[in-house]
Structure 1
Amino acid sequence: MRLTGRLLRRQVPWAAPLYVGAVQLGAYATARLSGPRRRALLRSHSTNVVNLRAGRWGTLVTSAAFVEEPLPLPYGAALLATLATAEARWGTRRAAGVFAAGHIGASLLVYAGLRGRVRTDPPDASARAVDVGASYGFYATLGALAATVPHRGARAVATAGLLAPVLRPVLRPGRTFTDVGHATALVLGMAMGAGGCLPRRGREGQIGDRLVQ
């Protein structure tokens, strides 16, 4: 009984609501700044070409702590549900690893594609763009969850259902680097899930099944 209670406590996500709440509170605080100060703050934490080419690699981490506007309720709820589900299934460390790998990996790949195509002296709009937020980590986590659905048929439906709407903007003229980043993060997450580095059932759930049996 004592072991079962400990396992149940481990399944309760705490990092996901803490992160989403902190991002939302930070967004409201940032929104109170004057326009120039707010833009300067967001640009200083953006994973854009100017910052990364200048060696400001810390933005790969800090960019996930800022958003341009407070999260709309539907998006905030979807982000919280996705991250909390991943944390409950895989544990805090693995879930955070997927989020970080998707966020950092997609940011670096987008930077690699942009750095030879945009002008930095003087910088054009793409080079100095505000590129902050949780969306890359969100898409990576969503992709990893889809790729670790236990049932093969449901897994195929889930991955196809995610890929179709995310890849559509990338294939159209006028696509943005953010569109490419979302698709990249989703594929990275699916690769992590399909690669066997994440369980298709949470470790605690497997142990709990053994205890019941």
Structure 2
Amino acid sequence: MTTYVALGDSFTAGLVAGEPRWADEVARALGPRTRYENLAWVGATSADVEEKQLDQALSLDPDVVTLVCGANDVLESVRPDPAEYATRLARMFARLRSEAPKAEVVTATYPDISRFLDLRPRTRARVEEGMRRFNGACRAVAERHGVALLDSFDDPAAADRDTYAADGFHPSPEGHRRAAAAFLRALRTRFRPTEAAAT
């Protein structure tokens, strides 16, 4: 039995009930003997993930964890703090490493979420710069804790409008498909999910 837990915000939770989400596709690919819990919710900040999702995730004794958060920290603050975000992310990765030492943990940076949003020029520049700083923090913290990272900011697919839903921000069905494929590539190089699911 493999236990997979997904943590995060609407990128992971999805927006429309019944539509496929990338984490659902990852769970299916891990095999029929996979226990899957998606604890993410729309609007979650990194503080929400740490304070309201992480304990539940650890209680499930996970084998696989995906943790992606930070976009709402940037969108909801005029002056988002990448240092505070890095500290919070480091605490979460440290707990996962110490309390779920066998778990394979995968995180990701965000694409340029300002690209297709209807924003004023100054707001667009603020959001883009905020995401650059937060993504930089995520890269550094993930490397320090040995966490696999998908770098989405400069991925060519991130510049494709088909990757996004009508709001220009959340993943479209095609975006979820691409994300699932990327997460599975990362897992297969480290976790070998088809073998784990068969045991």
Q: TM-score scaled to structure 1, two decimals? A: 0.29
Query: Which has the greater radius of gyration?
Result: 1
The TM-score, its normalising length taken from structure 2, stands at: 0.31
Larger proportion of strand: 2
